[in-house]
């Protein structure tokens, strides 16, 4: 598979290294949107977009114009989701996005979902979330945290809003507080707490490095190029390879 790498920060370099180790060929290295010319014809089967939120939409637009299949690794652009869907529909190419391409994190989402459904039946439990990422992370909270928030809100009916900023007041019973910390070089951890006066149940995921994210990204690209044109998410990918756990 021929891959165009759009964005070669720490995550982008990890994806490239793992792709090369799996026998794929890097045919283009593009740092940002300014490097993607309108009407560009790339000699690649798929582009892996791994930049920053402010560049993501313009990158996707230009890659769609170039007829590229795209794996969107960048997070923090989700307010523009409908615009991206329209771009994909009009271009007729294949695009997959996820807040996190790690298979381990996807399994973690499913564990948190199962726990939230149980806690929904036990109203003596409150719920909170926290995350820590490395100091180079440009969005806060992370896309992974946003997905966890959505899972909790959808499955714990007594909760209907999330507070991400500092609280200078008592939290309301319908609110979930999800805090974010940034620091260090290699930090990737999320913790969900189901908390009662008698005990606390913590469900956590910690990554040792970026390799799980990189491997999942490359596997998603391998899967994507075999699909019909369309706009896909991580659930679509996991449905095929793991039966939609």
Under 8 Å between Cβ of 5 and 29: yes
Catalytic status, residue 226:
no
Under 8 Å between Cβ of 17 and 211: no
Distance (Å, whole) CA 216 – CA 41: 26
Q: 5, 24, 137, 146: which one is catalytic?
A: 137
Which token pair is 71?
Answer: 């794996």
Secondary structure letter of residue 40 according to DSSP: -
Catalytic status, residue 159:
no
Q: Strand pairing of 230-233 and 94-97?
A: parallel
Which token pair is 226?
Answer: 């075999």
Q: 5, 24, 133, 159: which one is catalytic?
A: 133
**Distance set, CA 110 to CA 18, 34, 107, 116, 210 (Å):** 26, 38, 5, 10, 21
Active site (catalytic) residues:
133, 137
């Amino acid at each position: 598979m021929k891959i165009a790498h759009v964005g070669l920060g720490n995550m982008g370099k990890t994806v490239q290294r793992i792709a090369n180790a799996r026998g794929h060929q890097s045919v283009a290295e593009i740092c940002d949107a300014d490097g993607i010319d309108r009407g560009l014809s790339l000699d690649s089967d798929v582009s892996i977009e791994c930049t920053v939120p402010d560049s993501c939409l313009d990158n996707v637009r230009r890659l769609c114009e170039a007829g590229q299949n795209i794996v969107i690794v960048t997070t923090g652009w989700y307010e523009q989701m409908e615009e991206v869907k329209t771009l994909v529909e009009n271009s007729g190419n294949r695009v997959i996005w996820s807040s996190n391409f790690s298979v381990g994190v996807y399994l973690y989402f499913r564990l948190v979902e199962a726990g939230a459904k149980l806690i929904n039946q036990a109203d003596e439990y409150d719920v909170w979330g926290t995350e820590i990422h490395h100091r180079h992370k440009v969005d806060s909270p992370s896309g992974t945290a946003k997905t966890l928030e959505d899972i909790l809100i959808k499955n714990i009916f007594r909760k209907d809003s999330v507070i991400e900023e500092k609280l200078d007041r008592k939290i309301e019973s319908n609110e979930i507080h999800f805090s974010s910390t940034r620091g260090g070089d290699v930090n990737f951890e999320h913790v969900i707490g189901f908390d009662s006066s008698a005990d606390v149940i913590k469900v956590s995921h910690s990554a040792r490095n970026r390799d799980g994210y990189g491997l999942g990204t490359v596997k998603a690209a391998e899967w994507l190029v075999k699909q019909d044109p369309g706009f896909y998410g991580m659930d679509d990918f996991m449905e095929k390879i793991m039966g939609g756990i």
